[in-house]
Structure 1
Amino acid sequence: MTYKGYLIDLDGTIYRGSEPIPAGKRFVEALQARQLPFLFVTNNTTRTPETVADRLKNEFDIHVGPETVYTATLATIDYMRAHGGTSFYAIGETGLIDLLLEAGFVWEETTPDYVVVGLDNQVTYEKFVTATLAIQKGATFIGTNPDKNIPTERGLLPGAGALVSFVATATQVEPIFIGKPEAVIMEAAVAKIGLKKDEVLMVGDNYLTDIRAGIDNGLDTLLVLTGFTPKAEVPELPVAPTFVLDSLDEWRFES
């Protein structure tokens, strides 16, 4: 099968924390050389697309534009615009809060229309309190993504999903998840790349998010064993990925 476009994860696929994955860089450069469209689809909401592109350039020598980055923040904004409401409270960082404000939503801590919970490296108990009380008063509870962990050079650290679980436990309210593997972000990403689902391959390291995002939404999948999902788990996966590789260097674009 020869694919016309690629949706690609970042953390654990192109890099691991601050550690480069050299095969990831070579994979992107091979796509560019073949003029194949690609979109980085990431559950990370701590950075804007511009910041992600700058980081890829400055830290990993991967040269792409911000238009190639589609974050769970952008998908969250699209969801909120489609469902009405103007105010929000968020647990998150610049890549989430600043973009929500720039999109025209208004910060409100007491009675917001939405409470959005993403990854926040400076999270405090008081932030959880504010989110919990707002949801109890009727705010719609959004989790940017369900990732329980994020792969880094230090190991698997708590992800946004862990913070969302804290609020879900405190409120007894289940969140609306936006990021992978949910249809919200995948339908938008496929529309953005401008191809049909059967023409696109989803590439990632995390079976629970990246690969399930493809499987659950009708895309072929490539699981690369450089991040979250270990090789030992592959035989026991409930639905097999279309492809499993130890390294993206093993991928053959023409078949």
Structure 2
Amino acid sequence: MSQQTELLREDVFARRPRAVLLDLDGTLYRGETPIEGASGLVEALEEAGIACWYLTNNSTRTPEQVAEHLRGFGIPAEAGRVITSAAAAAHYAKQRHPDAVAFVIGEHGLRSALAQAGIAMPDEAELAEGAKVNLVVQGLDRGLNYGQLTAALGYLLSGADYLLTNPDRRLPVGDGFLPGAGSLAALLETASDIAPVVIGKPSGIMMRYALDLAGIEASEAWVVGDNPHTDLAAGLAAGCPTVLVLTGICGPDDWRRRCERAGAMPDAVCAGPDDVRALILRLGDG
């Protein structure tokens, strides 16, 4: 095993996982640059019979678009193994609010997921005619206007339930940031005094959805990611073993401090994808 891998809980790693739940940005790529060893990790795990699933808090893209983006980096991803916060939110909405009429703040990825789940979404004309809304589903919407926020607030104050795809406050873009879905939610929550049900990481809701789709128990799936506040916290919430990679937010000198601050210590720390591959493939099938 590489000297760049540190096991904090050796008991967790008695055998290989049946699946690996992979974060994307910061774990497999950074912005528009693939991380060295990412494609080799996925290829080696799939060849060994370990299913790779791709989890993203991004609600603006469809699973097909995410898979295409990953394939552009040489990562052999299939849309059926991509789980977005939008898809998880749509599944949750259908399970908990099967007859919902939803007012949506979000982009194509979220609207597409809700439509596929059969969630009613009145258009502007139907809303103007008084369509009764009982669910507000909010993600990132880079075309959002004040009128939409006002409408969403009105529905919330009238008793509509509130789902938030993901709580990310900032969205990295190039060398800067955009306000994320969580920043928009902070405005609505402040105005309404209503806290949303959070679907994406660090909530365990999306993780449990992924485990159900994969047909495995939490102990059989490793969560691999770079962010203690989202990836590791979500893995812990779902009861999965967690592996921190030092290819994104955390570095070798500050990962422990960052994880302690997040209240989410990993079970193992790896320098990057090559070390994750070495850690997994050295284990027996159990």
* TM-score, length-scaled by structure 1: 0.91
Contact 1:11 1:150 in 2 (8 A): no
Q: Secondary structure at the match of 1:81?
A: helix
Aligned partner (choices 230, 243, 255) of residue 268 of structure 2: 243
- Distance in 1 (CA, whole Å) between partners of 2:251 and 2:190 is 29
Aligned partner (choices 146, 153, 177) of residue 132 of structure 1: 153
- Distance in 1 (CA, whole Å) between partners of 2:41 and 2:178 is 26
Contact 1:203 1:224 in 2 (8 A): yes
Provide the aligned C-alpha RMSD in A.
Answer: 1.9
Note if 1:70 corresponds to 2:91: no
Number of residue pairs the alignment of both structures matches: 254
Residue matched to 1:141: 162
Residue matched to 2:244: 223
- Distance in 1 (CA, whole Å) between partners of 2:55 and 2:82 is 6
Consecutive unaligned residues in structure 1, runs of 5 or more: none
Identity %: 35
Q: Secondary structure at the match of 2:89?
A: helix
Consecutive unaligned residues in structure 2, runs of 5 or more: 1-12
Task: Call closer, same or farther: CA 1:145–1:230 in 2, change over 3 Å.
Answer: farther
Q: Deviations over 1:102-135 (max 9, x none)?
A: 3222223564121111112222222222211211
- Correspondence 1:1-255 to 2 at 5 A: 1=13, 2-57=16-71, 59-84=72-97, 85-108=99-122, 109=127, 111-236=132-257, 237=260, 238-251=263-276, 252=278, 253=280, 254-255=282-283
* TM-score, length-scaled by structure 2: 0.82
Q: Which has the larger radius of gyration?
A: 2
Task: Give the counterpart letter for 1:18 in structure 2.
Answer: E
- Distance in 2 (CA, whole Å) between partners of 1:100 and 1:32 is 30
- Distance in 1 (CA, whole Å) between partners of 2:226 and 2:109 is 22
1:152: how far off? 4.5
Task: Give the counterpart letter for 1:248 in structure 2.
Answer: P
Greater relative contact order (Cα 8 A, min sep 6): structure 1 or 2?
2
Contact 2:26 2:247 in 1 (8 A): yes
